[in-house]
């Protein structure tokens, strides 16, 4: 299973950058990759949504699953650069209150 691109910020957070549509086809890959990152000790995660042009309920589920895994391991999952479509879905579902959004992946964990 092909994974999404990852990198580490100066603050030590792991950034994962899915692209295109985060739907029932791609969401299981994201969910699995986030789970593996947490299992391997990366508990500060940032999902860069700047290249996502569509997200559905399965994509949201993958984000929430990653958030839960990271928090259970003593960390956090934050999102960065959500596109308008993603931001609209987050607002409509009130998940914008749960998933902290940041302008960039590099600033997501600045200051704490």
Give, in words, the CATH class of 5-104: alpha beta
Residue 110 pLDDT exceeds 80: yes
Residue spans per domain, the chain: 5-104
When pLDDT is averaged across residues 89-98 and rounded to a whole number, the result is 96
Helix (H, G, I), strand (E, B) or coil at 81: coil
**pLDDT tens digits along 15-37:** 999 999 999 999 999 999 999 99
Confidence of residue 3 (pLDDT cuts 50, 70, 90): confident
Q: Is the pTM of this model over 0.85?
A: yes
**pLDDT tens digits along 47-69:** 999 999 999 999 999 999 999 99
Q: What are the strands, taking DSSP E only, across 1-112? A: 5-8, 14-17, 20-22, 44-48, 52-55, 76-80, 101-102
């Amino acid at each position: 299973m092909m994974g999404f691109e990852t990198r580490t910020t100066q603050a030590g957070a792991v950034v994962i950058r899915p692209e295109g549509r985060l739907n029932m086809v791609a969401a299981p890959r994201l969910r699995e990759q986030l789970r593996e990152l947490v299992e391997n000790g990366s508990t500060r995660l940032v999902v860069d949504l700047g290249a996502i042009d569509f997200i559905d309920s399965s994509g949201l589920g993958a984000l929430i699953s990653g958030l839960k895994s990271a928090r259970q391991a003593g960390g956090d999952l934050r999102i960065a650069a959500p596109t308008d479509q993603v931001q609209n879905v987050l607002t409509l579902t009130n998940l914008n209150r749960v998933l902290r959004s940041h302008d960039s992946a590099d600033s997501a964990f600045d200051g704490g």
